[in-house]
Structure 1
């Protein structure tokens, strides 16, 4: 764990100092992950509603 932490710490200043052009893909990735998470949550909510309305057997 300590080795991983030492490897990660030197990378943080580089990420901060990167040009804005290189920050956009990261922001796009995070937005994509957020949309993906929202889709999963929406699907789970729809599944729960269907389960409540139609019951476990799906009648």
Structure 2
């Protein structure tokens, strides 16, 4: 009886660990994907803003 209890507890803890690990792994991957998307959009926005300000800059028009 004690052995059965130990085995069931062991399996339960194993399942719980893998479940939590999978959840955290997915969460980390989602966070990484969101961060990558934000960085990409930030870079494109910066590029667009730099070209826009470059065209509007009075210093460039005087040169």
TM-score (norm 1): 0.58
Question: Is the radius of gyration larger for structure 1 or structure 2?
Answer: 2
- Poorly superposed stretches of 4+, deviation over 6 Å: none
RMSD value, Cα? 2.0
TM-score (norm 2): 0.55
Aligned length: 40
Q: Would you tell me which structure has more helix in proportion to its own residues?
A: 2
Structure 1 gap segments, 5+ residues each: 1-17
Structure 2 gap segments, 5+ residues each: 1-11, 53-63
Higher relative contact order (CA 8 A, sep 6+): 1
